[in-house]
Chain A
Amino acid sequence: MSAGVLLETQGLLKQFGEFRAVDQVDFRVREGEVLALIGSNGAGKTTLVNLISGLLRADAGRIIFRGQDVTAQSVHERIGAGIARSFQLVNLFDQLSALDNVALAIFSRHGKTRKLWTLAESDRPVWQEAMEILHLFRLESKARVLAGGLSQGERKLLDVAIAYALRPKLLFLDEPTSGVGTREKAPIMDTISSIVRSEHISAAIIEHDMDVVFSYADRIVAMHQGTILADGTPDEIRRDERVLTTLIGTPEASA
Chain B
Amino acid sequence: MSTATATVALEHRSPLRVLGWAVPLLGVLLVLPFVVDQYQTILLAYGLIMGIAALGFNLLLGYTGLLSFGHSAYFGVGAYSVALMVKYLGVTSMELFLAGAIVACVLVTAVFGVACVRYTRIFFGILTMALSQVLWSLAFKFFWVTGGTDGLRVPTPTLLGVVTGKGDKIAFLATAYYYYVLGVFVVCAVIMWIIVSSPFGRALQAIRDNEVRAEFVGIRIRHYRWVAFLVSGVFTGVAGALWVPLNGLTTPDIMHWTFSGEIVFMTVLGGFRSFTGPIIGAIVFNYLKTYAVGYTVYWQLLLGVVLVVLVLSLPTGIVGTAERLWARWRAK
Cβ of A53 within 8 Å of any chain B Cβ, yes or no, is: yes
Instruction: From known contacts A91-B210, A93-B210, A118-B199, infer whether A131 and B2 are also in contact, taking CB-CB under 8 Å.
Output: yes
Instruction: From known contacts A96-B209, A107-B202, A122-B15, infer whether A166 and B217 are also in contact, taking CB-CB under 8 Å.
Output: yes
- Determine, out of B6-14, B77-85, B166-174, the stretch whose residues face the partner at the interface: B6-14
Residues of B in contact (CB 8 Å), total 36
Which residues of A does B touch, CB under 8 Å? 53, 55, 74-76, 79-80, 84-85, 87, 91-96, 99-100, 103-105, 107-109, 112-124, 127-128, 131-132, 134-135, 140, 143-144, 162-163, 165-166
Within 8 A of A (CB), among B1-23: 1-3, 5-6, 9-10, 13-15
Q: How far is the CA of A144 from the CA of B208 in the complex (A)?
A: 19
Cβ of B219 within 8 Å of any chain A Cβ, yes or no, is: yes
A121 B219 Cβ-Cβ under 8 A? no
> Looking across the interface, which residue of chain A has its beta carbon closest to that of B12?
A144
Shortest Cβ gap from A250 to chain B (Å): 38
From A103, A124, A132, A144, B202 is in contact (CB under 8 Å) with: A103
Shortest Cβ gap from B203 to chain A (Å): 4
From A55, A95, A122, A162, B217 is in contact (CB under 8 Å) with: A162
From B5, B195, B216, A91 is in contact (CB under 8 Å) with: B216
Shortest Cβ gap from A246 to chain B (Å): 31
Cβ of B141 within 8 Å of any chain A Cβ, yes or no, is: no
> Beyond A75-B215, A75-B216: 6 further Cβ-contacts under 8 Å?
A96-B202, A113-B200, A114-B199, A119-B197, A122-B15, A128-B3
Q: How far is the CA of A165 from the CA of B195 in the complex (A)?
A: 24
Shortest Cβ gap from B10 to chain A (Å): 6
Majority SS at the chain B contact face: helix
Point out the residues of chain B lying under 8 angstroms from A134, CB to CB. Answer: 2
B10 A108 Cβ-Cβ under 8 A? no
Q: How far is the CA of A119 from the CA of B18 in the complex (A)?
A: 13
Point out the residues of chain B lying under 8 angstroms from A143, CB to CB. Answer: 5, 9
B210 A113 Cβ-Cβ under 8 A? no
Which residues of B does A touch, CB under 8 Å? 1-3, 5-6, 9-10, 13-15, 194-195, 197-203, 205-206, 208-210, 212-220, 224, 227, 231
Q: How far is the CA of A146 from the CA of B172 in the complex (A)?
A: 49
Q: How far is the CA of A52 from the CA of B198 in the complex (A)?
A: 31
B220 A76 Cβ-Cβ under 8 A? yes
B9 A127 Cβ-Cβ under 8 A? yes
> Looking across the interface, which residue of chain A has its beta carbon closest to that of B193?
A119
Residue of B5, B13, B206 with highest tally of chain A CB at under 10 A: B206
Shortest Cβ gap from A72 to chain B (Å): 16
Q: How far is the CA of A48 from the CA of B216 in the complex (A)?
A: 16
Point out the residues of chain A lying under 8 angstroms from B5, CB to CB. Answer: 131, 135, 140, 143
From A116, A162, A163, B194 is in contact (CB under 8 Å) with: A116
Q: How far is the CA of A95 from the CA of B64 in the complex (A)?
A: 12
Q: How far is the CA of A162 from the CA of B201 in the complex (A)?
A: 18
Shortest Cβ gap from A82 to chain B (Å): 11
Instruction: From known contacts A119-B194, A128-B3, infer whether A93 and B205 are also in contact, taking CB-CB under 8 Å.
Output: yes
Q: Can you offer 26 A-B residue contacts whose CB atoms are under 8 A?
A: A55-B212, A75-B215, A75-B218, A76-B220, A79-B216, A79-B217, A87-B212, A87-B213, A93-B206, A93-B213, A103-B202, A104-B202, A104-B203, A113-B199, A115-B199, A115-B200, A120-B198, A120-B201, A122-B15, A124-B10, A131-B6, A131-B9, A134-B2, A135-B1, A135-B2, A166-B218
B216 A113 Cβ-Cβ under 8 A? no
Point out the residues of chain A lying under 8 angstroms from B206, CB to CB. Answer: 93, 96, 104
A94 B210 Cβ-Cβ under 8 A? yes
A115 B198 Cβ-Cβ under 8 A? yes
B216 A120 Cβ-Cβ under 8 A? no
From B9, B14, B203, B205, A99 is in contact (CB under 8 Å) with: B9
Instruction: From known contacts A131-B9, A144-B9, A162-B213, infer whether A100 and B219 are also in contact, taking CB-CB under 8 Å.
Output: no
Point out the residues of chain A lying under 8 angstroms from B205, CB to CB. Answer: 93, 95-96
B13 A108 Cβ-Cβ under 8 A? no
